[in-house]
Amino acid sequence: MSNLPSISLKSETQRLMAEPVPGITATPDDSNARYFHVVIAGPQDSPFEGGIFKLELFLPEEYPMAAPKVRFMTKIYHPNVDKLGRICLDILKDKWSPALQIRTVLLSIQALLSAPNPDDPLANDVAEQWKKNESHAIETGLFTWSRP
């Protein structure tokens, strides 16, 4: 087995720390370099502006050949996130490529907060509410997470 994935993981982690993504922090766990504590600030001009969302990101042994496992730890009312915090995002499933990195995944999740996609839902009830009355869905969502 090659040392390449661990070298890649180390350099990717160093880059994340040295060049953080605006509005996102990803800190490797002290006891497991494959586990990251992620905090994403709700993007400006989005339904989640002002929110602080905690996520966990885990890199499987097969990474970068397999997608990271990511889920919201903060409760969120979003058509693409289920009650367990799992995220419906193509690059975490069938559109994953080893060329993608943790940074790309985090930016994609941040973009999903800016533009929820009720046409590809994970939470069907939330998606239906979003389609019927988006402003009410957004208002409902404001009560599922707390502002700092």
Q: How far apart are CA 59 and CA 69, in angstroms?
A: 6
Q: How far apart are CA 33 and CA 48, in angstroms?
A: 29
Using DSSP, state whether 113 is helix, strand or coil: helix
Q: How far apart are CA 121 and CA 128, in angstroms?
A: 9
| Residue tagged active-site, from 24, 67, 88, 89 | 88
114 is a catalytic site residue: no
**What is the number of helices (H) and of strands (E) in the chain?**
4, 4
DSSP letters along 45-88, please? Answer: TSTTTT-EEEEEEE--TTTTSSPPEEEESS---BTTB-TT-BB-
Catalytic residues: 88
